[in-house]
A = this chain, B = another copy of it.
Amino acid sequence: MDGSFLIGSKSETTDNTFRAMNPATDEALDTDFAVSTTGHVAEACKLADAAFDSFRELDPETRAVFLETVADEIEATDGLVERAMAESGLPEGRLTGERGRTCGQLRLFAKLLRQGRWENVVVDNAMPDRQPLPRADLRQRRIAVGPVAVFGASNFPLAFSVAGGDTASALAAGCPVVCKGHPAHPGTSVLVGQAIRNAIKKCGLHEGVFSLIQGPSNDLGKALVEDPRIKAVGFTGSRGGGLALMKLAQARPEPIPVYAEMSAVNPVLLFPEALKARGTDLGKAYVGSLTMGAGQFCTNPGVVLGIDGPDLDAFAKTAADALAEAQPQVMLTSGIHANYDKGVEKLTGEADVETLARGAEGTGCNRGQAALFATSGKAFLANPNLAEEVFGAASIIVKCADMDELKRVLSEMEGQLTITFQMDDADMDAAKAVLPIAERKAGRILANGWPTGVEVSYAMVHGGPFPATSDPRTTSVGTAAIERYLRPVCYQDLPDAILPKAVKHGNPLGLPRTVDGEVEG
């Protein structure tokens, strides 16, 4: 394995190195990875800026083929899943699936590029005879915002890392990417980075379209966000990390948008009739969603709201029994494991919080021991600590006095990625009354499923009001993610000879357009 980082087409090394840890054993893995310097960050940004104009003006077909080539190269990378397993502690099946999702989303963006609506071409034809003043010919399209900084996330070493959703959507938009690899999986990052570089070479693109910065220090990320050539930031991770990036980005001479997907507890609402009819099944399914992947998902169900009474007690009992049997799983890093234990310990010690169950205890390193708590609606309303995310398989059941209190609890919660309704037909009126509250709070509202498992598609919204994300106007999963990296430009009376192809009079790219307010093509 090559321990170099990637600045354009150059593989760079420094004397300063670090190693990945295997979280299952707390032992360092074998390869020394060179730590980038802030000088390398500047060099990568300079190359990205140099690549920008040519990359953004590629025909959509060429950029689509490039994305597909990245996917092909990732699939052709030997040892990728094995390395990701060693660096993340995640099992093979999960990582094979994640690789499929990573390549699938690259190919979906390729399809999107070919469909052409992403460019949002809008034409208002000239009206030279209009009174009192003529109207000029006006043509709008969306163009790439500029080079984008992407921060790899630890919990999806493939799907939200070097060639993950942020990178795929930025490249699709026509933005060169400078990626800061997550220090927990540098080997995985290099392998994927090399796949992107191979695709750049095969497609004959400018080397600056992609660079990979590596290292454990926050200074690299700071330098990246502060570089004047960077025009937007994509990040998935902790609230603290996201807030720090937002602050840096706002303090720049030219502030830039940060798309940070941060923290959520993803409330699950148990409506009374559903709880009565299938509380036992729900209890089991809940624990299944909660403990999947050691609970290390942004959409993990961290809070359950129900009306106090025997039906909720039965649900809680089933959940507690199931959770007690949950086997410990290796968490992503020792830091995440330590934070998880700290969060669980804090909740355990809070007044009016009952520990309903703990999962089986682990014997190896960094095993996350699941945890289930319960409290009252009143206590939950009084103590904001109880609504804080504990990243991992910990969740709290909130026993509300009645539906009014449940609504109040939901209303006072912070912004969320998801809100889940467990409801039967007889709950319809109650659910309808809660829906407006849920719409204000979350980017996705789902019924009779579980929030974990985020479809990569056209309609998906993986986003939501602060602090779920830094920007609720967008999504980080699904095709709409491309919109984060585009801005509109209007061309007024420009001669056809210099108009960009997308907005030329003859529509040579055959793009769908809105002309004088009506959709064409």
Contact = CB atoms under 8 A, between A and B. Distances in A.
A461 B489 contact: yes
A475 B488 contact: yes
Interface stretch (A40-48, A61-69, A136-144, A180-188): A136-144
Interface stretch (A72-80, A216-224, A315-323, A462-470): A462-470
A432 B246 contact: no
A382 interface: no
A494 B460 contact: no
Nearest to A112: B517
Interface string A507-521: 000001010110100
Given A473-B487, A519-B519, A492 B122 contact: no
A246 B136 CA distance: 34
A102 to B, nearest CB: 16
A447 interface: yes
A149 interface: no
Given A457-B138, A498-B428, A488 B439 contact: no
A445 B138 contact: no
Contacts of A474: 488
A343 interface: no
B498 A444 contact: no
Given A428-B497, A440-B146, A124 B486 contact: no
B53 A115 contact: no
Interface string A440-458: 1011111111000101011
Interface residues of A, number: 80
Contacts of A465: 254, 487
Contact of A480 (B421, B443, B488, B500): B488
A18 interface: no
A246 B247 CA distance: 12
Contacts of A489: 439, 442-445, 461
A53 to B, nearest CB: 5
A480 B466 CA distance: 24
Contact of A493 (B57, B143, B449, B460): B449
A133 interface: yes
Contacts of A145: 472-473
A458 B514 CA distance: 9
Contacts of A458: 122, 124, 138, 140, 514, 516-517
A255 interface: yes
B497 A446 contact: no
Interface in A398-433: 414-415, 421, 423, 425, 428, 431-432
A255 B466 contact: yes
B136 A449 contact: yes
Nearest to A515: B458
Interface of A: 53, 57, 111-112, 115, 117, 122-124, 133, 135-136, 138-140, 143, 145-146, 246, 250, 254-255, 257, 414-415, 421, 423, 425, 428, 431-432, 435-436, 439-440, 442-449, 453, 455, 457-461, 463, 465-467, 470-475, 479-480, 486-495, 497-498, 500, 512, 514, 516-517, 519
Given A143-B439, A431-B495, A446-B491, 20 more contacts: A117-B514, A124-B457, A133-B453, A138-B457, A138-B459, A140-B460, A145-B472, A254-B465, A257-B473, A428-B495, A432-B498, A435-B500, A444-B492, A446-B492, A446-B493, A458-B514, A461-B490, A465-B487, A473-B488, A479-B517
17 contacts: A111-B517, A117-B514, A138-B460, A140-B460, A140-B480, A145-B472, A246-B250, A246-B255, A254-B467, A435-B500, A443-B487, A443-B488, A444-B492, A445-B492, A449-B492, A463-B487, A473-B486
